[in-house]
Amino acid sequence: MESNLENFVISPTENSVSPPSRKRQKTFDKDGDQCDDASHQIVIYKNDKSDRGQDEQSGSHFSLEPLKPSKTSKRASVKIGAFAAQCAKCQKWRLISTKEKYEEIRERIREDPFVCEKAREWKPDVTCNDPSDVSQDGSKLWAIDKPDIAQAPQGWERLIKIRGEGSTKFADVYYRSPTGVQLRSTNEVEKYLAEHPEYIAQGVELSHFSFKSPAPLKKDYVRKRSQTSQSGVTHTGSSNLLQLEEVQPISWAAPPENNKQMVIYNEDQPEVVPSELREPTRPGSPPPAPAV
């Protein structure tokens, strides 16, 4: 499946990954600074305390790999169950086939907004007339992802670890090097690359890393603040991305190509739903249909 995606190019817009300048924090988040308005990507997570199995989303497809045996996981962690992007035209959500594809879309979401047609790569006949693949539901934890995050370099993996509810932070972002070393900050990456010039030789650079973590839509998920975070959400003309998290890893252990089955409907917490999520608001369009 993922064959061509020529759709992903073009439209010079504003930002692009700005070169890292600083050392400490904010190394290169300057670029995305405003993006937070959630106007671009969304992620959905689900808390799953019972199985504290795995710690992060798996590499490809959104298969949540079965609980990791060893110490990879310690406490209850949330897993990302699925990814979705919002069509910039009809505002409906389309599940994205794989994490890779999702990251690919996210990388250029601003300059190259996602539209339903792009989903045809894995969902052949989809059009803006089809009902949304997903809609927010109370059983899942939704979060807004940041736009324009570069794809992890070849062999590297970007991991998002959602913290439990009530934590002071929503999630932590890590990068796992080809040799399995986990890096948790730009500084660490910089240092690591300096010690491993072979990666630099391969073209790996700091701008390929971003430790921006998604933000929960559920305002009280994080202990402090987070309510004001995404206030002025707007999405005019742009598209969003989202990821779904699932409760029981097993239930959709490996939905091959159809990811829609993992979505469960239920609109129970309207207030939590920021405008971008109620996309199906466009005039004349029916509410999103359950994907299951």
Partner DNA sequence: GCCACCGGTGGC
Binding footprint of DNA on the chain (CB under 7 A): 24-27, 29, 36, 55-56, 70-77, 161, 163-164, 166-169, 172, 182, 184-188, 211-213, 215, 223, 225, 228-229
The residue among 78 and 116 lying less far from DNA, judged by its C-beta, is: 78
For the CB of residue 291, give the shortest distance to DNA in the complex, in Å: 28
Cβ of 281: how many Cβ atoms within 10 Å? 10
**Structure token pair of residue 103:** 């990251």
**Least distance (Å) from DNA to the CB of residue 62?**
18
Closest approach of DNA to the CB of residue 61, in Å:
21
Q: At closest approach, how far in Å is the CB of 100 from DNA? A: 21
Tell me how far, at minimum, the Cβ of 262 lies from DNA, in Å: 21
Q: Least distance in Å: CB of 276 to DNA?
A: 16
82 vs 222, beta carbon nearer DNA: 222
Residue whose CB is less far from DNA, 23 or 120: 23
Q: Which is nearer to DNA, 187 or 258 (CB)?
A: 187
Nearer to DNA, 50 or 228 (CB): 228
Nearer to DNA, 72 or 281 (CB): 72
